[in-house]
Amino acid sequence: MDFAFSDEQEELRRTVRAFLADTSPETEIRRLMETPEGFDRAVWRRMGSELGLQGLAIPEEYGGAGCGPVEVGVVMEELGRALTCTPFLASAVLATTAALRCADEEARKRLLPGLAAGELVATLALTEDSARWDAEGVRLTARESKGSWLLTGQKMFVLDGATADVVLTVARTGDGIGVFWVDGDAAGLTREPLPTMDPTRRQARLDYHDVRATRLRTHGDGWDLVSEVLDHAAVALAAEQVGAAGRALDMAVEYAKVRHQFGRPIGSFQAMKHLLADVLLEVESARAAAHYALLAAESGDPELPAAASLAKAFCSDTCLQATEQNIQVHGGIGFTWEHPAHLYLKRAKTSQLLFGDPAYHRELLARRIGLDRVGESA
């Protein structure tokens, strides 16, 4: 594996960073936090039409760029760094990966061109009141009726669920788990935004009352598809966490250079040097873990499930640590609403729980590499 980013990938990073500096400054983030949708549709369309970001992982035959997870990871890292209010994770990662990896060519032709162009927003509805990220947590039911499927139940914590044009819904059927296409304005579907700690990333509660849906064809049981999507999403989120952690570290270092106590910058004190050095070590280690997982996803490496859980667990802890220490370095000003430090901390905390917290992924990692069977074999 080549762990260095290519010239093209670095150029993509520079392009995205410049675009976000123009369209997603702190003032715009704070404005969007107060809007019903939580993101700017015009900017979302520009991301698709001008930069092609939503279509990076989509093959050219569906209107995409034909790139892969590494390029998506580069974008996610920059989105995390800028704390951009966008449904990119829900639409360009969760829903796009589900469409790409299912066995339903008709669904791909209907959905992917609109996603690639930025004309549509889609999401994946999985978790319910139990907040579980495994198959046991799926209780929403799907039953056949007169040649179609009807969904009944509830989904919780659905990313951008209140505004998505298409909701790919995970439901339990008589033969296992299925993934279903549901239009956002379908009859019987009620969508309610949820109050969350992080106002920069929207979540919603969805209630299904005999909602008519179309089942996506899958390779085997639908949970295999969902599990694969979650691994790719965990890797993408890990890259975003690296971006947010790196930006928090930069903010702390910048402040340590200009804040003076006892006639000298606080960054010159040994305790502060050690604190920032420890955060730097963690951030760079997290970046390596996320990049390895991205490369595993890119190459289809069978180690992807283990790499995804490792990256998600480590990057979650690192992002939370970096954002907490950023507030500590800033002192009193770091606790104020006017300073952006708390926004990064809130994103770090909610991202830590998204797709399963570090404890969940460490347990999952142990199972995936066979550590849970060591005692049995002994």
pLDDT of 98 > 90? The answer is yes
Element (H, E) at 145: strand 141-145
pLDDT of 2 > 90? The answer is no
| pLDDT tens sequence across 66-83 | 999 999 999 999 999 999
| pLDDT tens sequence across 23-38 | 999 999 999 999 989 9
Model confidence at 3, in pLDDT bands (50, 70, 90)? low
Q: What angle do CA 157, 366, 175 make, to 5 degrees?
A: 55
Cβ-based burial of 112 (10 A; exposed 0-12, middle 13-18, buried ≥19): buried
Q: What angle do CA 29, 35, 39 make, to 5 degrees?
A: 55
Q: Evaluate whether 272 touches 249 at the Cβ level (below 8 Å).
A: no
| pLDDT tens sequence across 9-63 | 999 999 999 999 999 999 999 999 999 899 999 999 999 999 999 999 999 999 9
Angstrom distance (rounded) from CA 55 to CA 338: 35
* Domains, in order of start, for the chain: 7-121 (1.10.540.10), 124-220 (2.40.110.10), 223-377 (1.20.140.10)
Mean pLDDT of 296-324: 95
pLDDT of 335 > 60? The answer is yes
At residue 374, the pLDDT reads: 59
Angstrom distance (rounded) from CA 161 to CA 163: 6
The number of beta carbons lying within 10 Å of the beta carbon of residue 29 is 17
Question: CB under 8 Å to 55, separation ≥6 — which residues?
Answer: 48, 62, 63, 64, 65, 92, 112, 115, 116, 117
Q: Evaluate whether 194 touches 201 at the Cβ level (below 8 Å).
A: no
Q: What is the CA radius of gyration of the chain?
A: 21
pLDDT of 372 > 80? The answer is no
pLDDT of 4 > 80? The answer is no
Structure tokens at 210: 């005999």
At residue 147, the pLDDT reads: 81
Residue located via tokens 């300073």: 339
pLDDT of 342 > 70? The answer is yes
- Amino acid present at 125: A
At residue 107, the pLDDT reads: 94
pLDDT of 259 > 90? The answer is no
Q: Is the dihedral of CA 220, 224, 225, 226 positive or negative?
A: positive
Ranges 6-15, 244-253, 257-266: which has the least confidence: 257-266
Average pLDDT, the chain: 93
Angstrom distance (rounded) from CA 247 to CA 19: 17
Angstrom distance (rounded) from CA 56 to CA 146: 39
- The candidate with the shortest Cα–Cα distance to 365, out of 305, 320, 298, is 305
- Amino acid present at 286: A
Looking from the CA of 209 toward its CB, the CA atoms found within 13 Å total: 7
At residue 349, the pLDDT reads: 97
Mean pLDDT of 234-259: 94
Mean pLDDT of 81-105: 96
Q: Evaluate whether 287 touches 242 at the Cβ level (below 8 Å).
A: yes
260 beta partners: 265
pLDDT of 376 > 70? The answer is no
Model confidence at 272, in pLDDT bands (50, 70, 90)? confident
Structure tokens at 245: 């952690």
pLDDT of 354 > 70? The answer is yes
Angstrom distance (rounded) from CA 100 to CA 210: 27
At residue 1, the pLDDT reads: 56
> What phi and psi values does residue 152 have, to the nearest 5 degrees?
-140, 130
Cβ-based burial of 2 (10 A; exposed 0-12, middle 13-18, buried ≥19): exposed
Structure tokens at 30: 């704070």
Structure tokens at 362: 């460490």
At residue 264, the pLDDT reads: 87
- The candidate with the shortest Cα–Cα distance to 275, out of 217, 229, 224, 322, is 322
Percent of the chain with pLDDT over 70: 97
Element (H, E) at 267: none
